[in-house]
Amino acid sequence: MSALLVAHRAAFGYQRRPVISGVELEIARGDFLGIVGPNGAGKTTLFRGLLGLIPPLEGSVRRETRAIGYVPQRETLDPIYPVTVEEVVQMGAYGKLRGWRGLSSAERVRAQECLERVGLADRRRDAFSSLSGGQRQRVLIARALMDEPELMLLDEPTSGVDRGAQARILELLVELNRSRGMAILLVSHQLSMVRETVQRVLWVAEGKVRVGAAAEMLAPENLDRLYAASGTTRSASEEL
């Protein structure tokens, strides 16, 4: 199976100071991975590094596919913008637009299909800011689907949404992973969700990354050991 993303001895950080180093990782089609670890351990730094938003300070990150979908935390999107659901999804095609070229009819149809895929086609003319947290998250997933990604990276996709919305989002991700072989990498502090959903876990602590099977690494007895080894305790939001 060909790799979509390969990190080799990669170190990521800010202002030339590594936060995390020695990252060895290979993501292939069909993979489902979660980045977890104590607060402040460098989960977001690793995520941003793999995404290409910060360059590696050492080593390399090779992306073998250009079809990468990104789903940011919805709180980062300012509701002062009067964007509609449809406009947000269509932004997923902006990467291909150059100069005066507007959206083609095929791209408009594609946006509609992506919205149907996440079950929100009937809300396309609504203001994005009028949707619930879970619905906004699904719209952002629809936007990431516009480019038909082989690899999708999601930043805290189920944070701050109720259990029902969380279940719908996870159902959608599992379906994309299983039916289309889309590789998925998400970062989360919700350990129980990660354990029940992903195949492999990237445990981030003390500037290092350990990779292992989710069920094994996030088993309660193992978790206590991992937290103790990193000299931290679990916060309320990280409880299983």
Interface positions with another protein (CB under 8 A): 51-53, 68, 70, 72, 76-84, 87, 91-92, 94-95, 97, 99-100, 125, 127, 129, 143, 147
CB closer to another protein out of 91 and 219: 91
Contact 60, 8 (CB under 8 A): yes
Q: In angstroms, what is the minimal distance from the CB of 16 to another protein?
A: 18
Cβ 214 to another protein, closest distance in Å?
A: 25
Closer Cβ to another protein, 108 or 234, answer by number: 108
Token couple for 163:
């259990």
Minimum distance from residue 201 beta carbon to another protein (Å): 23
7 vs 215: CA distance, rounded Å: 23
* Residue number, 38 or 49, with CB nearest to another protein: 49
What is the spatial distance between Cα 204 and Cα 232, in angstroms, rounded to a whole number?
12
- In the bound state with another protein, the residue whose beta carbon lies nearer, of 22 and 52, is 52
In the complex, what is the shortest distance from the CB of residue 232 to another protein, in angstroms, rounded to a whole number?
Answer: 27
**136 to each of 26, 82, 132, 150, 170, how far by Cα in Å?**
30, 14, 6, 22, 14
C-beta closer to another protein: residue 1 or 80: 80
Question: What is the nearest approach in angstroms of another protein to the Cβ of residue 84?
Answer: 5
10 Å CB burial of residue 184 (0-12, 13-18, 19+) is: buried
Cα–Cα–Cα angle for 78, 157, 174, nearest 5°?
145
